[in-house]
Amino acid sequence: MIKKISILILVLYVPFLVHAQGHTTISANTPRIVVGIVIEDFNPDYIERFWDKFGEGGFQRLYRAGFICANHHYNNLIQRASVNMATLSTGTSPSHHGIINDFWINRLKKKEVKAVNDEFYTTVGSDSREGERSAMNLMTSTLGDHLKLVTRGRSKVFSIAMNDIPAVLAAGHAADGAYWLDNTSGKMISSSYYVETFPQWAFDFNASKIVDKSISTNWTTLKESSAYGESISDDYPKEAGYFGKYRSFPYDLNKLKKESGGSYKILKTTPLGNSIVKEFALQMILKEQLGHDLIPDMLTVVFSSMDYERYSFGPFSVEMEDTYLRMDKDIAELLKYVETGFGTEDILVYLTGLTSISYPADYLKEKYHLTAGIFNPDSSIALLKSYLNIKYGEGNWIELFTNQMIYFDHELIEKKKVNILEMQNSVAMFLSQFEGIAYAKAALEIEANNFPGGVLEPFQNNFHIKRSGDVLIKYEDGWQPKDKFNPLDYTDNSQVPLVWYGAGIKKGTTTRYTDATDVVPTIAAFLGIAPPPATTGQVIEELIKH
């Protein structure tokens, strides 16, 4: 009876909606809720490696019953959570959505700008400043934004993650809420950009002290140590481990928290953090009544794979394997909750990676004799500075080098009357000679040319004239940057899994190349709406017609 009433309401509502927007076919057949399960550092190899140890309700359920895009990529030069989440949520490249890196230089304001930091907004849910975030730097609409517009605000859009950047960029501008873990207080928080008043259910969640209880326990392996045959030895001596010394189970999380100065950030490197995200998501679906009417809602849930410590252990570590075995249980519980609550036909679930992860260069070289190596950015920039001083005179020509982008000091260049194009080309040619660098391209060359479909296309996709550096670089395959002491957060692997489930989707596989920008228009097709105007991806036709 309730569903019939809801259908009647929708019938009365949809003609007005169609008249107002002109391009929607939202109907009783439209999925009631879209759930995006997004995993940071999700190497496609993990599914095959850990398959026999997964339960039947998580990864195995999705892969056995879902539609698999087996050749799926982010065609961006810079493989960062910031860049890729903006791409995934908008359906277009950084050249359009503007999130070209974690941070960049604003030439007009002469300052560094972080992707989601915004002091105009305040933290909601704690007294820290970790909620001073917004999506103001995102230059295009997300699918969630567009869905809010099409349904005149009736659809509910939420995101949940351990970290602020994926939470904010998944939510977009118009979402009803974006939530992440506050490192200082151990509470789930949001920003006044999204919510003016912290919801009571979220207060209750924090009051349950689930985070404190989690960090007061030991992280132990889910299975007996002998079961982790897909990984290297737990006490592998080349693993850096926590703080360069803790590299084998069990881990005393409270001790690690104290050694990190009392920060809850350490929790984000463990599967317990993912379980907190899952529990928060379940509460949100219930309390916010997501999917409880025929107007479609969207929820993005972001899980982490050891977060910032993944390079201290690596993709072959017992820690990474245990993270995925436990994450499998969290995904199974989330999937069971929405499927039981709404029915398989009324949900649309997609599972994908936010970033992938590269195998360690030393491992590739020593174990398999592959061409790989370590690139030292500090030494290279020191040589570059000497070269520029010889060629153009003494000066601090390099303002910033970060994540494959080099920014020049434009004021100094103007003052010294140096031709900026000539300097960009000279630096690009100089860096191209370095072992470990495959390509170095001048910004003005990227701006003036078109590189569709080739190895240089990621340069163009990642370039924004107002935000990108003067020279962009790409490392050789297998090469990884590392400073004097630590590996840097970098991967050259653009491939991530993508699996679709629910909404009448039949089991199947495509090996055709699909791009992360294709996710938005494909979801829009299921929802019966046009994708956001800036979307450049294409509908995955095999999935729709299957």
Are residues 233 and 174 located together in one domain of the fold? yes
Are residues 292 and 247 located together in one domain of the fold? yes
130 within a domain of the structure (yes/no):
yes
Tell me what pLDDT residue 454 has.
85
Are residues 381 and 302 located together in one domain of the fold? no
Q: For the ranges 20-29, 386-395, 406-415, which has the lowest average pLDDT?
A: 20-29
Angle (nearest 5°) at CA 227 between 225 and 229: 100
pLDDT in tens, 265-280: 999 999 999 999 999 9
User: What is the pLDDT of the chain when averaged over all its residues?
Assistant: 93
pLDDT in tens, 440-458: 999 999 998 888 888 999 9
Residues 81, 354 contacting (CB under 8 angstroms): yes
Tell me what pLDDT residue 22 has.
38
235 within a domain of the structure (yes/no):
yes
256 within a domain of the structure (yes/no):
yes
Are residues 144 and 266 located together in one domain of the fold? yes
Q: What percent of the chain has pLDDT over 70?
A: 94
Query: Residue range 27-45: average pLDDT?
Result: 92
pLDDT in tens, 302-322: 999 999 999 899 999 999 999
Tell me what pLDDT residue 450 has.
84
Angle 271-287/200-207 helices, nearest 10 degrees? 150
Q: In 265-415, which ranges are continuous DSSP H helix?
A: 271-287, 310-313, 318-342, 361-368, 377-392, 410-415
268 within a domain of the structure (yes/no):
yes
Query: Residue range 418-430: average pLDDT?
Result: 97
Are residues 57 and 127 located together in one domain of the fold? yes
Angle 143-150/2-21 helices, nearest 10 degrees? 100
510 within a domain of the structure (yes/no):
no
pLDDT in tens, 123-151: 999 999 999 999 999 999 999 999 999 99
Q: In 404-528, which ranges are continuous DSSP H helix?
A: 410-415, 420-432, 443-448, 457-461, 519-527
> Structure tokens of 111?
């300052």
Query: Residue range 167-181: average pLDDT?
Result: 98
CATH code, domain carrying 379: 3.30.1360.150
295 within a domain of the structure (yes/no):
yes
> Structure tokens of 404?
């494959």
Are residues 58 and 149 located together in one domain of the fold? yes
Q: Which of 340, 361, 389 delimits the end of a domain?
A: 340
- Return the SS3 of 50: helix
Find the helix or strand (DSSP H, E) in which 300 lies. strand 297-303
Tell me what pLDDT residue 257 has.
97
Q: Is the pLDDT of residue 171 over 60?
A: yes
Query: Residue range 501-506: average pLDDT?
Result: 96
CATH code, domain carrying 179: 3.40.720.10
Q: Give this prediction's pTM.
A: 0.93
Tell me what pLDDT residue 194 has.
98
Q: Supply the range of the domain harboring residue 275.
A: 31-73+116-340
204 within a domain of the structure (yes/no):
yes
Query: 221: Cβ–Cβ under 8 A, 6 or more apart, which residues?
Result: 228, 249, 250, 318, 322
Please say whether the dihedral angle defined by the alpha carbons of residues 409, 415, 420 and 425, taken in this order, is positive or negative.
Answer: negative
Question: Which DSSP string do the residues of 192-224 spell out, in sequence order?
Answer: TTT-SS--HHHHHHHHTTHHHHHHTSEE--SS-
Q: For the ranges 239-243, 347-351, 459-463, which has the lowest average pLDDT?
A: 239-243
Burial class (CB within 10 angstroms; exposed 0-12, middle 13-18, buried 19+) of 190: buried
Question: Rounded to whole angstroms, how far apart are CA atoms 515 and 500?
Answer: 14
Tell me what pLDDT residue 25 has.
65
Angle (nearest 5°) at CA 23 between 20 and 26: 90
Q: Is the pLDDT of residue 479 over 60?
A: yes
Q: Is the pLDDT of residue 2 over 70?
A: no
Are residues 429 and 476 located together in one domain of the fold? yes
> Structure tokens of 76?
């961006």
Centre a 10 Å sphere on the Cβ of residue 124 and count the other Cβ atoms it contains.
20
Tell me what pLDDT residue 348 has.
98
Query: 546: Cβ–Cβ under 8 A, 6 or more apart, which residues?
Result: 67, 505, 506, 508
pLDDT in tens, 326-372: 999 999 999 999 999 999 999 999 999 999 998 888 888 888 888 88
